[in-house]
Amino acid sequence: MAATDFKDYYAILGVTKTISADELKKAYRKLARKYHPDMNPGDKVAEAKFKEVSEAYEVLSDPEKRQKYDQFGQYWKQAGQRGSPFGSGPFNNSNSDFDNIEFGQYRNFDEFINELLGRMGTDGGFGRAGTGYRTSRSAPGGFGDFSSYDSTGSTGLDAEASITLKLSEAFHGVQKRLILGNEEFEVRIPSGAKPGSRIRIKGKGQRSPYASGQRGDLYLTVDIAPHPFFQFDGDNLVCEVAIAPDEAVLGAQIDVPTPDGSVTMNVPAGIRSGQSLRLKGKGWRTTKGDRTDQIVRITIATPKEISPTEREYYEKIRSSRSFNPRSNLKDVRL
């Protein structure tokens, strides 16, 4: 990777290197909501920015990836890979000649490692230096979006990669066409995949260098792009819905979006901002075929602009109101 290709993920998210995991998540959610394609239909700049902040968060939210990124900078992806001088071995020494190598002269990491090891080219897709994967972004049913790759398993032939899905793709299931080296194949992502779900694809891992040609398996770890309304809370879905002050006082029936359509929900009179209501069986799909719950967090939205009639009635309520929300403060002392 040339130095000009390096992405400063901290700068992209507008944070410092000392930021905590919780604050990092808050910063990401704010930007993801701002640039999400659903909030900016047809805006290619916002779409590119959304992908960029998602990529940055995908790396910095993973403690292991973040550690490698902080330590190795633009070469963090190569750190620890089989055959990588960043991993264990004679080159993993701050006093070695490796520190004096000028990385900028190489067009990519494969070129560097080829020269370092004195060999020509790669080994057909799963070389010691390369990952064997190409990355391509996709619409539903298109090419898979690999964001990482590594080898794993006791045989050394299994492989891992991550794939990013839209929430609708994960809920309904989707067919993805993936590219692995020079190989292209389709994989079915079952409905109900969640962040961290692992999908095994038999016989699509690394190929044995020996005559047997045995291949390991490919394990896809699912990541789900942020949604402007729905979020995960364990196995359940959670959302936030605003109600008006009169609805909070008197109670109301309101329409709430769910993954498979809008439903009417009863809001009890006297509900407080921050309270949660539960829509049973309207959450995420499970591997057993049933549904979890959808948790609806209520917020009370105060209007900034009101009509003269509304103002008149609000003033009448204020003048005759018997409820004092601060009655518990009269005895507060140091």
Q: What angle do CA 52, 57, 59 make, to 5 degrees?
A: 100
Mean per-residue pLDDT for 152-174?
Answer: 81
What letter represents residue 161's amino acid?
Answer: A
Residues 6+ apart with CB under 8 A from 254: 241, 243, 247, 264, 265, 267
What letter represents residue 139's amino acid?
Answer: A
* Res. 266: pLDDT tops 90: yes
Mean per-residue pLDDT for 301-315?
Answer: 94
Q: What angle do CA 40, 41, 42 make, to 5 degrees?
A: 115
What letter represents residue 158's amino acid?
Answer: D
Q: Name the phi and psi angles at 279, rounded to 5.
A: -105, 100
**pLDDT tens per residue, range 210-231:** 646 688 888 999 999 999 999 9
Q: Record the pTM.
A: 0.54
Helix axis angle, 21-35 relative to 44-60, nearest 10°?
160
Report residue 92's pLDDT band, with 50, 70 and 90 as the boundaries: very low
176: nearest Cα among 136, 134, 199, 144: 144
CATH of 231-321, one of 3.40.50.620, 2.60.260.20, 3.40.50.1820, 2.40.110.10: 2.60.260.20
78: nearest Cα among 52, 98, 57: 98
Q: What is the pLDDT of residue 162?
A: 86
CATH topology of domain 131-226: HSP40/DNAj peptide-binding domain (2.60.260)
Cβ-contact 283, 263 below 8 angstroms: no
More confident residue, 126 or 284: 284
Cβ-contact 43, 60 below 8 angstroms: no
| Extents of the domains making up the chain | 1-122, 131-226, 231-321
Cβ-contact 148, 79 below 8 angstroms: no
In the three-class reduction of DSSP (H, G, I as helix; E, B as strand; rest coil), residue 214 is classed as: coil
Listed as own residue / partner, the contacts of 189-194 with beta carbons closer than 8 Å and 24 or more positions apart are 189/163, 189/165, 189/220, 189/222, 190/287, 191/285, 192/284, 192/285, 192/286, 192/287, 193/165, 193/222, 193/224, 194/170, 194/222, 194/224, 194/232, 194/235, 194/284
Q: Name the phi and psi angles at 114, rounded to 5.
A: -60, -45
CA 91/CA 95 separation, integer angstroms: 9
**pLDDT tens per residue, range 166-197:** 999 999 999 998 887 778 888 899 999 999 99
Q: What is the pLDDT of residue 228?
A: 94
CA 267/CA 249 separation, integer angstroms: 10
- The pair of structure tokens assigned to 256 is 């709430």
CATH topology of domain 1-122: Helix Hairpins (1.10.287)
9: nearest Cα among 48, 61, 45: 61
Mean per-residue pLDDT for 284-311?
Answer: 93
**What is the average pLDDT value for the chain, to the nearest integer?**
78
Q: What is the pLDDT of residue 183?
A: 81
* Res. 46: pLDDT tops 70: yes
**Best mean pLDDT range from 15-19, 117-121, 127-131:** 15-19
Cβ-contact 167, 81 below 8 angstroms: no
Maximum pairwise Cα distance, the chain: 90
Question: What's the half-sphere exposure (Cβ side, CA atoms, 13 Å) at 190?
Answer: 11
1-122 matches 231-321 in fold: no
